[in-house]
Amino acid sequence: MRAAPPVDVTLGNGRREKATVAVVWAAACAAVAAWLDAHLPGQWLTVIAPLGALLGGVMGWRAASPMRGRLAWDGLHWSWCVAAGIPVPLRGLRIALDLGGWLLLRDDAGHWCGIAAGDVQAQWHGLQLALRSALPPEAAR
């Protein structure tokens, strides 16, 4: 079997990913606030839920740290080039979520990024091949 062709894609600025994490955190904090309202005397939901959602959104935005820079597959290994241009080897890069035209990728060290087909256009097919044909780290030993 032939290896997947080399791929080099530029990752986005991370705003989309940060916004998604912020929305999830906001919803979670609003749900906790609604639960608190059900267990506190009085009607606090009108104050606690929006405040919880706002606080959760801000915390989610600050906590999210998606990969930025370039993601490269050389035929054998994945690497991530940050702003300095020094490639950092990635171990166990895999698809965490596949929504057809959008992929959430994660490696074993906890780095993650979202990649949309429209953002990488011509590289999309090669990226799919590399992600789906790469051997897991255990098999390479």
Helical H runs in the chain?
15-39, 45-63, 117-120, 124-133, 137-140
State yes or no: pLDDT of 141 exceeds 50.
Answer: no
Structure-model confidence comparison of residues 45 and 51, the more confident one: 51
- Residue 132 DSSP code: H
**β-pairing verdict for 78-81 and 70-73:** antiparallel
* pLDDT of 110 above 70: yes
For the chain, what is the mean pLDDT? 85
Instruction: Label each residue of 98-130 as H, E or C.
Output: ECCCEEEEECCCCCEEEEEHHHHHHHHHHHHHH
Who's near 69: CB < 8 A, 6+ residues apart?
10, 11, 80, 81, 82, 83
Residue 109 tokens read as 């060290």
What single-letter amino acid sits at 60? G
Split at pLDDT 50, 70, 90, the class of 139 is very low
Q: Note the pTM of the prediction, 2 decimals.
A: 0.74
pLDDT tens digits, one per residue of 46-101 = 777 788 889 999 999 998 888 888 999 988 889 999 877 788 888 888 998 899 99
Domain ranges of the chain: 7-13+66-140, 17-63
Percent of the chain with pLDDT over 90: 32
Please say if the pLDDT value at position 114 is more than 80. Answer: yes
Tell whether the model's pLDDT for residue 137 goes beyond 60: no
Q: In the predicted model, what is the mean pLDDT of residues 100-112?
A: 88
More confident residue, 2 or 105: 105
Which pLDDT score is estimated for 140? 44
